[in-house]
Amino acid sequence: VTEEPRLAAYTERDGWEKRDEIYALVRDTLAKASTADWFAKLDAAGIWCSPVYGYADLVDDPQIAHNGTFVEYDHPTEGRIKTPGFPIRFSKTPSQVVRGAPLTGQHTDEVLRDFGFSDNEIAAHAASGAVLRGASE
């Protein structure tokens, strides 16, 4: 697949020193055809390739769904959430979401107390805007 003959002149050593001009050539060359066209050309040349998914493409991919890559759960304030699942699976002790991710500032007081800050110091930091506190704090 030699759509841009100037690319053939570069060596592996040029990858760093001439990266900006290589990037520009590749970018401009890729813009000349659709993604589907490039996949067809690369496949015909025996070059492995795959699309780079955006988030929407990823969550809608049938293989991703089949693998259970994403899990859904009910978050107490955000409703139904879809999030990346667990990278490992055990048949006898399957992973599960038991609670959602904390809200911004939800554990601020607890963490700052662990570092030795008094309640008055924490309140002063929150009042100054230096830290965020959750709604329940």
Tens digit of each residue's pLDDT, the chain (137 residues): 556 788 888 988 898 999 999 999 999 999 999 999 999 999 999 999 988 889 889 888 999 889 888 999 988 888 998 888 888 889 999 888 888 888 889 999 999 999 999 999 999 999 999 999 986 54
First to last CA, the chain: 61
Tokens representing 59 are 């969550």
CA distance 73 to 101: 11
The two three-digit tokens of residue 121, written as one number: 């110091």
Kindly give, in sequence order, each residue whose CB lies less than 8 Å from that of residue 32, ignoring residues fewer than 6 positions away. Answer: 3
User: Residue ranges per domain, the chain?
Assistant: 5-44, 53-101, 103-137
Residue 6 gets which letter from DSSP? G
Q: What is the reported pLDDT for 134?
A: 82
